Amino acid sequence: MQFHSMFSISALTVVVTLILIGIGTLSNPWRPIVSFAKELIHSKVFLIMFLSMIGVLLLNSLELKFEESISYNADFTPWLFSLEGKFVATFQSWFHSDWITTISSFFYLVVFQALILSSLIIFAGERRLQFLKATCCAVMINYLIAIPFYLLIPVNEVWSFAPSGASLYMLEAFPEFNTLYRPLSGINNCFPSLHTSISVTVAILAVRSGNRIWAAIAVSSAAIIVFSIFYLGIHWLIDMLGGLILAGVASSLGLKWANRFQDRIDIPHDIQA
């Protein structure tokens, strides 16, 4: 299986999101989607949070443009390599096969996005409003903390640093990755790993929400995504460790932040969370 365009990735993301919602709620996906839409309409607090989250995601793309316009040329990649050597290259050599490349790429490109969308809609459908808002808050916190690191402590992806010995296996599944996907993710935006931090954040919130089925799905998906960042040759081990710490911080702060912003009409629903 190969990916050939961002459109195909987006289409697959929609399909996977619907499947995850159906399994996570054991219901017709349309019902939680309607609940999500109603929450956007009736809750000013959630609408502001959701739009703010979208704004922060857009800010990340602006960071890439800003980075290109400044003359800051620091590179911390050799320092990371001096600490962990050829860990990623060795890791890749243990597992390399066509089917693992396909699955890893699928989770990195598609499931990662679907996890965020599914989490929001599942929490809305189950009226777990505290966790609905906490997810928005936590995603924002992840990006807001990571962006300064990307600007001030640039680290290049493992495969692009020749001494690492790593290969970009993503190209075997998505040949146009560096052309089509790269504008969304700078090659030197490695530390901390947002794929790690956000997927683990979603998993933590899923576990704490009490929905066991969704927790199992989110935890399993996060584990595969963390595996994929090494297998595909993208992130360093230190990037992943930074992502884990960021996930713990973001999920905890997200829940606390969500509790501070509640509509009066939401309070009865939040009691159950």
How far apart (Å, rounded) are the C-alpha atoms in residues 144 and 112? 19
Residue 31: predicted pLDDT? 95
**pLDDT tens-place string over residues 40-72:** 999 888 999 999 999 988 887 777 777 777 777
Give the Å distances, CA to CA, from 207 to 126, 172, 216, 220.
14, 34, 8, 12
**pLDDT tens-place string over residues 166-190:** 999 999 999 999 988 887 888 999 9
Q: At 165, list the tokens.
A: 């010995």
| DSSP H helical ranges for the chain | 6-25, 30-42, 44-69, 77-84, 87-95, 98-106, 112-125, 129-152, 170-173, 194-209, 212-231, 237-260, 267-270
Let me know if residue 29 belongs to a domain. yes
**pLDDT tens-place string over residues 7-42:** 999 999 999 999 999 999 999 999 999 999 999 999
Residue 271: predicted pLDDT? 34
Asked if residue 256 lies in contact with residue 246, where contact means CB atoms within 8 angstroms, the answer is no
What letter represents residue 227's amino acid? F
Let me know if residue 248 belongs to a domain. yes
**pLDDT tens-place string over residues 95-127:** 999 999 999 999 999 999 999 999 999 999 999
The closest alpha carbon to 243, from 141, 163, 166, 171, belongs to 141
* pTM of the predicted structure, to 2 decimals: 0.92
Q: What's the domain count of the chain?
A: 1
The closest alpha carbon to 101, from 256, 199, 228, belongs to 228
Residue 257: predicted pLDDT? 86
Let me know if residue 185 belongs to a domain. yes
Residues 190-202: what's their mean pLDDT? 97
Let me know if residue 217 belongs to a domain. yes
Give the Å distances, CA to CA, from 240 to 57, 197, 223.
20, 8, 11
pLDDT at 272 over 70: no
pLDDT at 273 over 70: no
What share of the chain has pLDDT > 90, as a percent?
Answer: 80
Contacts of 225 by beta carbon, 8 Å cutoff, 6+ apart: 107, 108, 111, 112, 195, 196, 199
Q: At 260, list the tokens.
A: 């501070």
Place of tokens 């090494």: 230
User: What 3-state class would DSSP assign to 211?
Assistant: coil
The domain in which residue 22 lies consists of: 6-270
**pLDDT tens-place string over residues 142-161:** 999 999 999 999 999 999 99
Q: What does the DSSP 8-state code read for residue 162?
A: G
Residue 71: predicted pLDDT? 77
Residue 265: predicted pLDDT? 40
pLDDT at 134 over 80: yes
Let me know if residue 1 belongs to a domain. no
Let me know if residue 263 belongs to a domain. yes
How far apart (Å, rounded) are the C-alpha atoms in residues 224 and 219? 9
